[in-house]
Every structure is written in C-alpha cells, then in structure tokens.
Structure 1
Amino acid sequence: MPAPTTFPADSASWPAFLATSVDAGLDEGRALIARLKDGTPRTTSEVLELWNDTDIAIGTASARAHLFAEVHPDSAVREAAEASAQAAEDLFTERGLDHDLFEVVAATDPAGLDADATRAREHVLRDFRRSGVDRTPEEREHLRALAQRCTEIGLEFSRNIRDGVRTIHVRPEQLDGLPDDFRAEHPAGDDGLVALTTEYPDMVPFRTYANDPEARLALTREYLLLAYPANEPLLAELLTLRAERAALLGYEDWPTYDTEVKMIGSGRAIAEFIERLDGLTAGPARSDVETMLARFRQDSPEAAAITSADNLYYDQVIRREDYDVDSQAVRQYFRYPAVRNGVLDTISRLFGLTFTPVNAATWHEAVTVYDVEDDGVRIGRIYLDMHPREGKFNHAAQFSLTPGIAGRALPEGVLVCNFPTGLMEHDDVVTFFHEFGHLVHEILGGAQAWAMFTGVATEWDFVEAPSQLLEEWAWDTGVLQSFATNDAGEPIPADLVARMRRADTFARGAWTRRQLNFTALSYGLHAEAPADLAAFTAAVDERFGPYASIPDTHQYAGFGHLEGYGSAYYTYLWSLVIAKDLRSAFADGLMDPVVGRRYRDAILAPGGSADAADLVERFLGRPTSFEPFEAWLSEGLTGG
C-alpha cells in the first residue's frame, strides 16, 4: 500500500521538502508532457495513462503548494509555496493551450475503452476546448497571459485577506455580556484597553454577546473593511479579465463559461435560481428582521435598523427569551477536545471507519494526525489544523494534501479551521461537522484510478451538498449526547437540544436571504463587471438585504469566495436544496448504519467518476426534489 507523506522534523528542512515534494512534481509534469509529444506511437490507453500521470504529478504539487501557502507558520515558506502554486497553475494553463498536445489526444480512438477511460478522454477534450486550444496562436498566447494574470491576482487577493487582520481596542466594560472565559482570555493592556481582532475567535463571540452596540459596530465595521483598499483594484481587474477570457472563448459572460461544467448548466439558470429564492425568502426574511428590530428598540428606542453588527446579538437574545435557549449555557457542553473526538466517533460509526491517532511530524505542533482505516486497512490520512495563529488561513476549509490514486497514492486531506481551544459555540460544532464532510469525501472518494475524478471531484456546485447534509448530525440528540457533556460529566439534556432545534427555525428566512445576497453579488459582479464595486454592492444590499448596510464599508474586498468560487457562490444554496433532499433518506434515524453505508458507497466513494445528478438519483431512487428545502424553509414561519 502507498505510504503517507513524511514531513521534515525541523524547520530548516522545509525548503528542501518543498523542492522535492512540490517543485520536483512540476518538473515531472513537464517531462511527461514532453514525452506525450515525442512522436512515439501509442495506443489510446497509453496516451490517457500518460495524461493521468501528468495530472497526478502537477495536481499533487499544486495541492501541496496551495495548502502550505495558507497554513505554514514560516512566512518565507508560505511565500515559496505561493510561488510554486503560481507555477502549478501556469503549467495547467500551458498544458491546456498546447495545440500539439491536443492533437495527440484528439487523434486517439475511444473504441474499446472502459466507461471510466471513456469519461476521462471526453473530459480532457472538453477541457482543451474550454481552454481555447482551437484558437489562433495569437489568441492562445493572449488567453495564456490572461489566465496567468488571473492566477496572480487570485493569490494576492487571498493573501491580503489572510494577512489583513484588523484590530480595535475597547474598554473592559465593553466586554459586558461576553462569557467569563472570553473575558479572562482578553485582559486589558498597559493602556487599559482590550484588543479585539477580526479573527473569528474574537469577532463571532463579540458580535454575538457584547451588549454594547457601538462596540459591536466598531468591530463589524473593521471586518467589513478587511483587505480594503488593497483588494479593490485587484477584484476590478479580475472581473474584467474573466469577462475578457469568456468573450475570447465565445461565451456570453463568465457565468455562462463557468457553469458549462456544473450541475446548474447555464449562467441564466443562476439568475432564475436567484429569482425563485427571492420569491421564497423575501417575506420570511422581512418578518425575521422586524422581530429583531422590535427587540433592539426595547434596548435602544432610537434604533432605526438591524445591521450585520446587530443580527447575531439579537438572534441569540430572542432565542434566549422566546425559545429558552441560552447560547452561553449551551457552550458549557462543547469543549473542543470532546467535540473533536465526538465528530470522529460519529463518522466512524456512520460509515464504518476507524480513526487512529498518529504521532507524526507536521507543519505545526498543534496539528493532530489520524490514519483512516476500513476493516483494518489504511485507506487515507487526515490532518486537523484547527486553531488560529498568525499568518494562517482565517476561515474554515478542507484542503487536499495528496490526491488519492488507487494503488499509487494514499489520499490525504487537511481540515483547516479557527476554533477556540476550549469552549465552543454550537455554531462551531455545526461548522466542524460541515467541514469534516469535505474531509471524509476527500478520503472515501480518493480511490479512483483517474486523478481528475478523485476525492472531492464532483461538479463544483454539488461539492457542498455532502457537507451540508452532515450538519444535520450536529442537531441530533443522540449524537450530541454521545460527546457533549458539562464539567460534571452530564450529557446535554434532550429537552435543551429540542429547544435548540426549535430556536434554529427563528431567522431561517433572514439567514437564507443573506446567503441569497452573497449569491446575487457573486453572480452579478461576473455577469457584467460594474464600474463601481461599492455602488453595485450597495444596490445588491438594497434589494436583498436582509440587514441594513453599514456605510463606508467594502465587504467585497474581503469576500474570499470571489476568488475561489467566482460567480458560483450560488453553490451553497444549490447544494443546500440537494442536502435537504438527501436527508430524507435517513427517515429511520441519522445513525442508521445501513443507510450510512449506502450513502457512503453511492455518493462519497465514486468521487467524480459519475455526474452528481446520477449519484443523487442512485441514492434516492429518483431525481432530486426542491420540496424538502421548501419544507425546511417554511419551518421558520411556523416555529418548527
């Protein structure tokens, strides 16, 4: 069996590690591309196998470069990794525009290929066409330059967000409302003030619990200025270049180009999806915000609107007062070590897996490592990098370290989050389950022969569905009671979980509407790049809200999904519709091992070897339906 990655035991060895595990992979990819074009007569299978070898070499190097650019504690290593990530993306671009290489693949005969090889050949030819390989040499060179510049901008855009942490200073009394452990971790400095950053472990609790509306507003404003002004010209250029690339390739706009290989099928379908959700969410969101505002005015009679500085605070106030759910009391049941073990145990029981701790060197001492075993056989390795530190990726995401290839490479995935080391919010627990859904998909889908189908390689607008489905386990009484205990060892009460579930129906319309706002912004910016980013964002806020915008802020500058997801932020709501439908298969309980194994085999294990719609239909026995999502949304109108 393939062995997992061995990392350097000391910091001085990291440059050499990058050279052998990243840069050498890119060199191997270049050599394989040259070999494919050397004129040697080859069968179709031999050509495709060599192509797959290039995918493995470049893809593995790219995955590692992108990971270490985001998580390595040494800024010099991050910079070197970022340069290698740029080189990997450039090599993918050059390969896609190589006309001689295209002719080699196009000359192959698909007769006699098995289904996976046939699908691989079709995908290669499709991607060649989408890269512009059939254009004139001058057009291909221009497309190459555009793609390379887009990669440069994307890396810089992400770096500015990662490194752009902002800080405010507040008086100690402005921490009133915060949990005792938060206050203890944030003592006043020599100037008598408390420093708070826009990092999640500071920002989310403060916006949720701080009684002082001006202090909440101050921190929220700084968060909405993240990476501004640096990212404004970068985003404007990126939107312009994407539009130019799409036009050169013969597409109406970037969303039309981008959706050609996604479930939704067309850019216009995104607009139709937005309109459908607009009709479903406008009324419920308005009602939710009116409820919050009425409660806000009990504290501040002059309050004119609910903004994103207020919604988390009044959401928890209303849940406490109207649903008898005190978020701070709930926190006592969720300590990070127990939550981590509980998530691992839940996934183990559901999918028949074993997670075995491994004492191995990594890039940071806080990273924990586990081998993933199935019936005693190691099938992958996972890394949990779960707590914040300077220079680290500051959201939550799953990264590939080693794309799995059957018999050749063990799948290795990395979970990168920014959770506290002690007590966690229940929302953190939900996020943990969500991101772990990506991680288990990476491992279970990582036994493909073809690199292009391995791991989380489904259509990109399906990729969130398995993770959104796994969030359901964070609301299940039996699951939570298996690991959520207080200091006295008492499990979280069943009646508390029931109240939490009822309380979760509150503001469901507003939450969905906010996601729709991001969806409309992501799509609209790319459908027609605006001359004024701030004015366009304000127009989106005006239509979709659901919260009043905060003047003189620029959230688009810190909206990292605009780089990675581009016009496809709709993915989250699109996938949520599917996830709610997938949930219906677990009618006899979320921990049903028979359904869990069937889900594992039908949805996760195939990776990208079949269209997502086909995977869903195989599992459900029918095409997916919108009805479970509508029923879920309507619970917010009835209080569950």
Structure 2
Amino acid sequence: MTLEPLQLPADADAWPDFLTTVVDAALDEARAHVATLKDGTPRSAAQVLELWNASDAALGQASAAAHLLAEVHPDAEVRTAAEERAQAAEDFATERGLDRELWEAFAATDPSGLDADARRVHAHVLRDFRRSGVDRSPQERETLRTLAQRCTELGLEFARNIREGARSIRVRPEQLAGLPADFLESHPADDEGLVTLTTEYPDLIPVRTYARDAHVRRALTSEYLRIASPVNAPVLAELLRLRDERAHLLGYPDWPTYDAEVKMIGSGAAIADFIERLDALTVEAARRDVAVLLERFRADDPSASAVTPADSLYYDQVIRREQYDVDAQEVRRYFRYAQVRDGVMSTIGRLLGLTFERVDVPAWHESVEAYDVRSEGERIGRFYLDMHPRAGKFNHAAQFSLVPGLAGVRLPEGVLVCNFPTGTMEHDDVCTFFHEFGHLVHEIVGGHQRWAEFSGVATEWDFVEAPSQLLEEWAWDAGVLRTFATDESGEPIPEALVERMRAADAFGRGSWTRRQLNFTALSYGLHADPPADLDAFTAQVDARFGPFAPLPDTHQTTGFGHLDGYGSGYYTYLWSLVIAKDLLTAFGGDLMNPEVGRRYREAILAPGGSRDAADLVTGFLGRPHTFDAFTSWLAAT
C-alpha cells in the first residue's frame, strides 16, 4: 500500500475545518480506542497493546498538528483555536494516564508471549501509568489531574507570551556604523529619520555582533532580555510551584528527580553532579576568555569594568578579526540563504543516502516550502521549511512534528521552524541550520516504527540533541562548505579562510560552554527548589557561573522558552554535546564517508526510541560513550 502525506488546506479560510477534520477527529479517535479498551471484553496482551497503540497514534497526530499550528499559523484566530486543541490533547493524555480502570485492564495482561519490542511498550506504559499517579487515592488522582492540566495551561501561556512579545528600539542611522551593507539597505530610516530594530534574531544577532555603538548593542540586548516581562514572571512562578507540588505528591523529592527518572542521566542528583563536573572543567577556560574580551573592550573604552551579553558577541568577532584574521563580514558573504538551504540538504542527503524533492503543495504561509524525502527512490516522508520571521510566529529555531510516522499507516512529516534572514546569513546560522536539520532527518528516518511510542525523535529526551549537535560539525568542514558556500561571483569559500575560522572557533569555547552551564544551572535550580524571587535567584546563578556580567533591569527567566518544554532539563544540551563529540570520532576525520554515514543512519536514527539511547551509542561506537572527546575539544583553546 502506498502511503500519502497529509493534505493541508489550499484555501486560507479552510483552516478551521482542518482543525475539526484532522485534529478534533484524531482526538475523538484516541478517546474511542480508550473506551473500547475499557468495555470489559477479555483481551490478550497483544490485543490490548494494539488498541493502546491506535489510541497513542491518534493522540500523537492531534497533539502534533495542534502544537505546530499554535506556533506558526499567520492567523491569530487559528493560532488560538490550535492552542485550545493542544490543551485538549494534553488534558486527554493526563486523563488517560490517571484512568485507573484503563490501568487495571492493562496491568491484568500477561506480556510473556509478546516479542521484544511489544514487551518494551508494555513495560513503558505501566511505568508511565505509575508516574502519572494512577495507583494513588481518588482524591490524590483528582489533585494530580488538576495540577497537570493547570501546568499545561501555564506552559502554553508562557510560550505564547514569548512568541508574541517581540520588542524594539529606534535609533539614528549613524548609530548603525559597523553593520553590514545589506543590513543597512534593508533597514531604511522612517519619516522621522529613525531606524527600528526588533528583538527578532535577524536584527538582534547582527546588531550584537557588528554595531560599534555600545549604547545600541546594550539597548537592544536589554530589550531582548525583557521579552515577556513582567507578564511571564507570575506564570513561571506558578508553573514551578505546581511542578514541585506534583513531584512531591508522586513521592519524589523534587521535579528534577521525577523528570530525570526516564532520561539517560537517571536522577536529579546526577544533574547536580554533572553541573559540578562541568564547573570544574570550564571555570579557568572561561575566565581566560572573558579576560581577553575585557582587555580588548578597555582598549575602546578605558572605563569598561565588565563584559556583558551586550558586548560579548561584538568583542568576540573583534578578537577573531584582529588575532585570527577572520572577518565575520567577509565570512558571511559566502552564506546566502538559498545556497545554504540547498547545500545543507545536499550534504546530509549524500551522507545518509537520502534525496529531497521539492513539491508544490499547500502550506500555512506562502513562504513555506515542502519537500518529499526519498530513500532508493521510495518516498519515506515529507518536511516543510518555515524559515523566516513574521509577526506571531515562534521566534527561535526548532523542529516540530506535523504527522508522527507509523509503519504501514502514515508517513512521518516534520517541520523546520527558524528565523533566518532571507539574504546573507551568519556562519552561526549555518550551524543552526545543520543542527535543526539533524532533528528533521531523525524525525523522518526514525518515523517508521510499528509502535507510536517509539516512532520519530522518541529517544530519551536528553539524547535528542546529540544527533543534531553532531551534524553541526559539517558546517566547519572546508570540503563540505566549498560545495555550496560561494560569493555572488560563484567563487567558493577559500579553504584557508575555513581553517582560520576553525582556529578562531577555539577561542571563546570556555566562555561559550560556561554560558550554557549558566542556563543549565538556572533550569535545574529553579526546579530543584523553586525560589520566591526569580530575579534574585538568577543573580545568584550569574554570580557563580557568569561568565558575563548581567545587564541591569533585565529578566532572563521570562523569555527563557526552554523552561516550558525542557523544564529542569536544559542540561540536555551539554549532556548531548558530550555524546556528540564522541560520536564524531567514528568518522575518523572523513565527514563524508558514506559507509559510516549509512551506519550512523541505521544505528542511531532509524531505531527511533525502540532501544535505549545508551545502547544505540554503544552499537554505533562499539563501546560505551565517554567524556574523553569532549574534554579534548574543550581543552583545545
């Protein structure tokens, strides 16, 4: 049977009907399967699992489409309607997990006759029932249901306030000295002779990187660090408090301990230990990096006493230009969006044995592109690229599922949501493109499991970043870059420039890792013991981990979107980076080795969540992962 991708509306007015016929219908289907499971009919473990899987698949479809459209649809009314559906899907998942009658029907089955994958599903479902609190008293279950539903509401509100909270400043044209010519051309003065700069990435990153006027850098960075303030402060405070209450009611000492139980890391205490280990590894390297930045800052401004986030990117590129002969504005000439898009897809396609074919199908916005993914000529999935900023759209970079794949039932479909400029890009943007595309191919290649529980990017959540962080390495390979990084005359980026870029990249590695550690400690600490004063706790984290001095009257937590989706798990990025550096060793310096690339596809991506992440890594490397490659990378500064 040939599977067809989901058809999206061609008419802008048809989206409300789409929410009804796709999202609502899927949620109704999920409920119907649960009702069947509870109808009293005697069933084998295999029969129970099949019904559960059908419910899981339907719920996954409803949730995926609703969450995506709530973040990207250009019509605010459709976004609101999609957000309501996302809430309904999360609420049903909560109800299902606390349904004692359903749990009893499931627990009564004997899994001994099932195959290994089915037994794994059976064990995971029983584990998740326990973690929901299904075995608690009726009063406790009702409290847990109320808490979970309220947490979902708060999470959606927190994300919405960030998504819709873009801020701006207005400056005189002469204050933009240092910005690239294409940036200046795209930012003309208004009737009052002023230029508007927003906190969206295509404005924020160039200004922080190139603007010579420290006041402009500081003003825009400060506005960015005030996104969703003050509205998100009480939202986050309540969310943290309710997560903590849920954890205690379920018998855990804190939220990180509850959350980490099903992650690779295993426990909240292990997160704290991981933070301490990275603290020891990064403190001196970060101090050296910041000292170099401050010395150069003082050459421009003798009164400078500290490096803030408003200064760090600017002086980082100054150091790279002056000490490593890497001019960021020279580098960006070679990275134009269309060429980067095609180059990333071509590179990953060749590496993994995939082809990407542009298809002309409807989407939610005219700028969105669609591609079919083929392996040996067979279509195995579809993805959409929603890559440029617009009002009301998700304002970071992420991969969303549109259709969770299921073997023999439906093709996996993913969506890359970014906020890149339409013209010239920074090299950091190129790294981000490779990173997010890594999530996308994981969604597609891993989206062919029999069990919905394991399909797509379904590994432990603290492993999902490792495959994407690995693919960032391809953005630093001279041979890879020369296949698509060309200037307007068609000349490829010089190999010598790429080598200097690689040398310059070693500078600031300590401070960059330390900054990630700051976010990690903030994410963990806010959940381990929710503070009464969010800003005061943030100041404590900044005082210990830095590496940069905070800007006054800013509020890191209100715009820290990962505190919703990742919760206490921001450590995932550094944890996965340790693994990614180890995975890289398998390529032996030849990033385009097709044999290793195909083995990586089959060993790491294709299994989805059907095996533990540690086993996937061991199977690919031939040994358990270690810290060695990460430690060597960090020391090469």
TM-score between both structures, scaled by the size of structure 2: 1.00
Q: Does 1:459 align with 2:464?
A: no
Q: Match of 1:493?
A: 494
**Residue 146 (structure 1) aligned with residue 143 (structure 2):** no
1:506-517 matches, cutoff 5 A: 506-517=507-518
The aligned runs of 1:241-320 (5 Å cut-off) are 241-320=242-321
Gapped regions of structure 1 (runs ≥ 5): none
Q: Tell me the residue number matched to 1:518.
A: 519
1: CA distance between counterparts of 2:380 and 2:306?
A: 52
How many angstroms apart in 1 are the aligned matches of 2:370 and 2:553? 44
Cα deviation code 1:600-634 (max 9, x no counterpart): 00000000000000000000000001000000000
Deviations 1:76-127 (A, max 9, x none): 0000000000000000000000000000100000111001000000000000
Which position in structure 2 is the counterpart of 1:576? 577
Displacement, 1:591? 0.2
Alignment of 1:3-22 (within 5 A): 3-22=4-23
User: What residue is the counterpart of 1:217 in the other structure?
Assistant: 218
Alpha-carbon deviation of 1:285? 0.3
The separation in 2 between residues aligned to 1:10 and 1:206, in whole angstroms, is 38
Q: Deviations 1:404-447 (Å, cap 9, x if unpaired)?
A: 00010100000000000100000000000000000000000000
**Which residue in 2 is equivalent to 1:540?**
541
Q: How does 1:159-198 map to 2 (within 5 A)?
A: 159-198=160-199
Corresponding residue for 1:411? Answer: 412
Distance in 2, Cα, partners of 1:2 & 1:92: 27
- The CA distance in 1 between the partners of 2:30 and 2:454, in whole Å, is 18
Aligned length: 636
Letter in 1 for 2:181: D
Aligned-residue offset at 1:40: 1.1
- 1:291-337 deviation per Cα after TM superposition (whole angstroms, max 9, x unaligned): 00000011111111000000000000000000000000011100100
Residue number in structure 2 paired with 1:481: 482
Residue 588 of structure 1: CA displacement? Answer: 4.4
**Partner residue, 1:373:** 374
Q: Post-superposition shift, 1:517?
A: 0.2
Separation in structure 1 between the aligned mates of residue 3 and residue 142 of structure 2, nearest angstrom? 39
Deviation for aligned residue 1:391:
0.6
> Where does 1:192-207 land on structure 2 (aligned, <5 Å)?
192-207=193-208
Match of residue 84 from structure 1: 85
**Deviations along 1:187-237, whole A, 9 cap, x unmatched?**
111111110000000000000000000110000100000000000000000
Unaligned runs of 5+ in 2: none
Aligned to 2:422: 421
Correspondence for 1:363? 364
Amino acid paired to 1:57: A
Matched, 1:33 2:40: no
Counterpart-to-counterpart distance in 2, 1:229 and 1:240: 18
Q: What TM-score, normalized by structure 1, do the two folds share? A: 0.99
- Structure 1 match to 2:324: 323
- State how far apart, in whole Å, the 2-side matches of 1:18 and 1:246 are: 34
- Give 3-state SS (helix, strand or coil) of 2:79's partner: helix
User: 2:347 matched to which residue of 1?
Assistant: 346
Say which SS state the counterpart of residue 372 (structure 2) adopts. Answer: strand
Q: Which residue of the partner structure matches residue 132 of structure 2? A: 131
| SS of equivalent residue, structure 1 residue 282 | helix
Letter in 2 for 1:461: D
1:42 deviates by 1.1
Displacement over 3 Å in runs of 4+: none
Question: Structure 1 CA distance, aligned partners of 2:571 and 2:115?
Answer: 34
Q: Which amino acid aligns with 1:426?
A: H
Q: Which one-letter code corresponds to 1:360 in the other structure? A: V
Name the amino acid aligned to 2:44. Answer: T
Q: Distance in 2 between matches of 1:487 and 1:264?
A: 47
Give the letter for the 2:495 counterpart: A
- Could you say what the CA RMSD is over the residues aligned between the two structures, in angstroms? 0.5
Aligned residue type for 1:628: A
| Inter-partner Cα distance in structure 2 for 1:46 and 1:504 | 55
> SS at 1:196's partner residue?
strand
Helix, strand or coil at the partner of 2:112: coil
SS in 2 for 1:309: helix
Alpha-carbon distance, 1:552 to partner: 1.1
Alpha-carbon separation, structure 2, partners of 1:8 and 1:534: 44
Q: 3-state SS of the aligned residue for 2:111?
A: coil
Find the counterpart in structure 1 of residue 597 from structure 2.
596
CA distance in 1, matches of 2:22, 2:307: 50
Name the amino acid aligned to 2:45.
T
CA distance in 1, matches of 2:74, 2:176: 30
AA at the equivalent of 2:67: H
Task: Tell me how far apart the structure 2 counterparts of residues 582 and 607 of structure 1 sit (CA, whole Å).
Answer: 17
**% same residue:** 71
* Structure 2 counterpart of 1:82, one-letter code: E
